[in-house]
Amino acid sequence: MKTSAATILLGAATAVALSASTIHAKEPDAKKSAGQTEAQKPATASTPFTYKPPMRGAPATRVGGGTRSAGAAVLTLNVLAPGETGYTIQERPTVYWYVSEPITHPVELTFTSTASLQDAAMPAFEITLNPPIGKGIHALRLADHGIALKPDVEYQWFVALVRNPAQRSNDTIAGGTIKRVADSGAVQPRLKQTSPAQWPAVYADAGIWYDAIDQLSKQISADPSNRQLRGQRAALLEQVGLREAAAFDRSGGS
């Protein structure tokens, strides 16, 4: 039977996910005595904004981020996920991953539900991308593959560089977790009151990581040479410790 990246990390990642699932209480939001929140202020492309994790102190669920030699170069592989479980309010979100060098081997992307041990053992979604794959930040749109996330179910997702299909222990693997949550009622009204340029800030302020990154990435895709937008995404990535991917954006995507 084929051994996938999800199977390799199943034991450790499932244990982390089960630990994370026992935490329910959110840290109370700090109240500002007066004025607007940062997300409610008019945002400009040069103004960084802050990601506010919904559960501070939650167990780390991001794994890997491996660095390995790729010939003469050193290769870094990251998923663009926070250290803890990241949230989305989208049924079919887009997730992003980063590789520091061009890839000449297949890349396997896997989604696995942690709703039960049985679900965790069977990938909910798995595709293989064939080389060549350029360096930089790449998108995986679940809508393109007919995949919908169930509400309040945590999913592990992995990106694996498969150097030798017969020796999967040699894979370079990165992974994170994602959870679809209901809008608390604070996000959609604020989106309606702001321009699309400010939507990433609204999502980040509400602790909705994946949607913040997605909205910002869409703006960058529409204007790839805009260094101010790339600086905003780099600032978000630095806040969760993804320095290599942030450096890529700060260099202008080169």
| CA separation, residue 178 to residues 10, 45, 230, 240 (Å) | 16, 27, 23, 15
**In angstroms, how far is the first alpha carbon of the chain from the final one?**
40
Residues with Cβ within 8 Å of 254's Cβ and at least 6 positions away in sequence, in order, are none
Give mean pLDDT, residues 157-175.
Answer: 93
**Collapsed DSSP state (helix, strand, coil) of residue 173:** strand
Q: What is the pLDDT of residue 105?
A: 93
Instruction: List pLDDT tens digits, range 193-241.
Output: 999 999 999 999 999 999 999 999 999 999 999 999 999 999 999 999 9
pLDDT over 60 at 30, yes or no: no
pLDDT tier for residue 96 given thresholds of 50, 70 and 90: very high
Q: What is the pLDDT of residue 25?
A: 36
Q: Give me the chain's average pLDDT, please.
A: 82
Ordered by start, the domain boundaries in the chain are 5-22+51-250
Q: How far apart are CA 109 and CA 90, in angstroms?
A: 19
> Half-sphere exposure of 144 toward its Cβ, with a 13 Å CA cutoff?
7
pLDDT tier for residue 115 given thresholds of 50, 70 and 90: confident
Q: How far apart are CA 104 and CA 106, in angstroms?
A: 7
Q: Strand locations in the chain, DSSP E? A: 63-64, 67-70, 73-79, 86-88, 94-99, 107-113, 125-129, 136-141, 154-161, 172-180
- CATH code of the domain made up of 5-22+51-250: 2.60.40.10
Q: pTM of the prediction?
A: 0.80
Instruction: List pLDDT tens digits, range 73-90.
Output: 789 999 999 999 999 999
Burial class (CB in 10 A: 0-12, 13-18, 19+), 161: buried
Q: What is the pLDDT of residue 48?
A: 76
